[in-house]
Structure 1
Amino acid sequence: MTESARGTSTSSAGAWDPVVLWSKPESEREGTPLLVLFHGYMANEEDLMGLTDHLPAEFTVASLRAPQAVGPGFSWFPLSREADYSVERVVESVAAVSRWLNEVRGRHSSVSILGFSQGMAVATSLLRHRPADFACVVGLSGFAVPSEGHEFFRDDEAAAAPVEFFWGRDQEDQVILPEMIEFTHAWLVKHTKLTKILYSNMFHSINLRELAHVREFLTMTVLGRR
C-alpha cells in the first residue's frame, strides 16, 4: 500500500514542491530507515514503487517525481545532447532534492538512495554533494555526470570516506552512452566502496535477479549495522 503526498511539480526545480509516494503511512515511519527512489527520464513517481515488494520491509520507501514535465512523464534535468543541458541544471535539480531531504531525514534512522537511469545521476550527484549523509547508494542502469569543476560536487570528501555503492547494469544496454559508462565506472571505483554486477539479457531495465541482489545489499549495509 502506498500513501501519496501531493505537491506541485513545476518546470523550475528551485520552486519544486515534490509529489511523493510513500510505502508506509506517516504514523509508521518514525525511526525507520528511509530509502528514496529516483525514477528515469520520462517516467514518474509510480514507476519504481513496484520495487518495494522486493525490498526489505523494514524500510520506509519514498518515491519522488522529477520537476520537469517531458512527454508522458518527467525529467530531472535536460539530456546531455539537448541544447539547454548544463551542469548548473543538474545542480539546481539535485539541490532541490537535498532541501526536501532536510525536511524528512530527522524522522529516520538512516537515509539510503536508489536511482534508475537518469535517476542514478541524481543519486550519485546527491552523494557527491552530501558524501557523509547516506548509509548506502544503489544505481541501476544509469550514470554519473561530469562535474566540470562545479563546487557543488565534493568529490574529494567522497573519496576520503567512501560509501557502499551497488551498481547493476547490462553491458548490452544501448540507452546509456559508452562515454558516460566509462566516466561513471572510473568515478565509482575512485570514490565509493563499489559492488558492481553485470546482468545479461536485461538491457535498459531491472530484473528479479538484480532486485534480489539489491535486497541483500540493503540488508547487509543498512539493517546489518543497526
Structure 2
Amino acid sequence: MLDYINHIENKDVPALVLLHGYGSNMQDLFSLKPYLPPVNIICLQAPKVLGHEAFAWYDINWNNGSKIIDSEEVDRVTNEVQNTLSSWIDSNNLKGKLIIGGFSQGAI
C-alpha cells in the first residue's frame, strides 16, 4: 500500500485521484482541493525517495542522453497504485465515478 492524503466529501460524488510529478510529493496536488468542485480526493505518494519530501514513481536512468526506464518497476508501481485505490474505494464505500489525473511522471 502506498501512503496517501485524502478527503472524503460524500460517497456518491466522483473520486479524483491525483499523482504528483517526479521530485514532488502527495501534498503538492492536494493543495488544489479548495479550487475543485465537490469530489472525494486522494493524492498518492510515490514509493521512491529522492530526498527530503521528494519522491518518484520509478527511476529514470539517463544513459548517454537516452532515457532508460525499467518496465518491470513501472508494472510494480502500477499494481501498487491499483491496490491502494481499490482498498481506498472499498473502505470508504465510494459509489461515484473515478477520475485519474497526474502531472509529469505521475501522468505517464
In structure 2, distance between residues paired with 1:21 and 1:104: 11
Structure 2 residue aligned with 1:77: 58
RMSD: 2.0
Determine whether 1:59 maps to 2:23.
no
In structure 1, distance between residues paired with 2:6 and 2:22: 20
CA shift, 1:40, in A, is 0.6
Which structure's residues are more often strand, by fraction? 2
**Could you say which structure has the greater relative contact order, defined with CA pairs below 8 angstroms and 6 or more residues apart?**
2
In structure 2, distance between residues paired with 1:90 and 1:19: 17
**Normalising to structure 1: TM-score of the pair?**
0.41
Which structure's residues are more often helix, by fraction? 1
Determine whether 1:46 maps to 2:33.
no
**Normalising to structure 2: TM-score of the pair?**
0.81
Q: Which runs of 5+ in 1 are unaligned?
A: 1-16, 122-226
Deviations 1:98-146 (A, max 9, x none): 111221234221111110000001xxxxxxxxxxxxxxxxxxxxxxxxx
Q: Which runs of 5+ in 2 are unaligned?
A: none
One of 26, 48, 57 as aligned partner of 1:68: 48
Q: How does 1:109-124 map to 2 (within 5 A)?
A: 109-121=96-108
Q: How does 1:176-215 map to 2 (within 5 A)?
A: none
Conservation of the 8 A alpha-carbon contact between 1:38 and 1:120: yes
Structure 1: 4+ residue segments shifted above 6 A = none
Larger radius of gyration between Structure 1 and Structure 2: 1
Aligned residues: 101
Conservation of the 8 A alpha-carbon contact between 2:2 and 2:80: no
